[in-house]
Structure 1
């Protein structure tokens, strides 16, 4: 088989049943938020049924892409909106509130776009940013099972004997978005032991995406296995991955910001369903002496507590996003550390409120809320699954060590 000499010569892969995409070009932050609200109103309609039956959201993702939202962080000089991280976080929270699984799927797409912005060559930026603006989806083949820790990688990138390109061999898991992708950014270890990012066409010979995700939450993310069997990749489809953290960049804090926004969106969905159910289905406890569950003083107290936690998480998310924007404009050790810590603080609260809202929903709504036809447990399942992405206990440590001892957090994607 002849090695492809250039990424631009690779055939555009087909990701799903709708291969011809007419994509809106979003021009600014306001248009992005408007598009997100409009799309969310559509996605929420069958979110419960998709989760219940594990119906993969091919059509919904196609609508998401055609809305133009997947291209909002492409810099303006390359034809994108150059949206702020404040807007990016808001978009993620809006979509995740409508459907937690769909809310997570593009996280690694934006992660790859940011790595391209930070580390891509001019040729790579021009090519991939334009592909993104035309509707191509970037997936993810980063994490692996069976390694000593979550950051270790064994998938190899070896130079072809003719020197024209590379070959990839290895196995990935938690490959969120790869099933639906046009391109699969893949973390690989090169012959020098350095971690790189290879952007592989989804249907490249030797690449298999296995839909074996069995998590009890985030059920339609397709976060399963990616297998690489001597997969060919051209030289200009490889860019620095480890280099994204060798110097101060916003790759890490932006990735974590999106995760916090996903958790916040899941929390909003649980909170909203709690309010509706208590008002329309629940009965007051006999000792409350009231006619409606919504008049129960202890229920009112708990809803007040949840409301405060939710609003605090929203405020910290916006604060963190502004810090990431400042770091993107001036990436120094100090600004990136401050952004990482602010995002860690937001992730603590977004984790807490997403789990609390999903649990309190049942406590306050009562036994009826556990009936299968309501499928309200999806909120807690989604929150519990997604918040395990990396341990919140280490965020407390990073924050405390920063303020108490002046220690900057390590630079990687899991802070």
Structure 2
């Protein structure tokens, strides 16, 4: 309890700091982002429950634009105030994993340029393509994933945008102390987004090669369509469909061809929404369809059981729903969300387990947000242990 009070005091002090310390700030944008989070994990088969209380702080500065150019630099620190957990680098293997190791690093250092129909970013940067299913920043973890990369986007028409990125190095969430904390990369990522009458059509080719993680090198080509159609005022039908094919690439010693399919349909009103989804990552008995640069926490349940696709693949049938309610005398918008998942092998023949996810989040002030989140996985077979995770979060953004 003492640690929690201390951490809360630190965060609340930071909330007040900008009006004082940054009152004479230079032109441009000051970046201050602090996230205090408690994560509790109970997992069958491990002798201890994990309790992590971590404070993530990002501080940086972006210059004003000059002829379209900006320069940004941002540092990041993750401090464990309670460290009864396996961070993947601290050797505490009797606890479940909470992948938030203590670390201090340069998070971003980039030069960007923006023109009328094109833009470019060079340097260490945050990179999110599409819905982050294949390339993302893993923003849920305290130490986000960033990339030493060159990214360019070109918009020849209002309907079409083409993006290309070359990735030289991946700075992963495990930090500098982990042997898997950085991947040397020679990856080429191409994506085209076209607005059509049926919705947004996206085509992509992700050619990923990693010198020190050859088993993760792959070539993935795919197409995705997302859209919505009004059925009456205030109510729309939503839909998504995606297909991708993945093969070995460059230094990967394996030989495989694997498919990815995602489908969903739903209803969306002014605040409430609901959808039913199907996602299948194929396995060939030796390996499963891989998404090594994805924001994995956002897919296949928040319990993170399927960060690596099983050799027999995985099929996720899910139902999601959410809404925003105005509560209290100040009518604070409280965001509510729930999801249920049923996981099987990709052919549906054998069940891995089921999961329930719950979330409630609300702003405390314009800059401070509170969130409560939980995930409960009920496994049906060895290797997929029952586990529960609960997160309590305060996040401040200046």
Same structural fold, with TM-score higher than 0.5 when normalized by the shorter chain: no
Instruction: Flag the structure with higher strand content.
Output: 2
Instruction: Flag the structure with higher helix content.
Output: 1
TM-score normalised by the chain length of structure 1? 0.26
Q: Greater relative contact order (Cα 8 A, min sep 6): structure 1 or 2?
A: 1
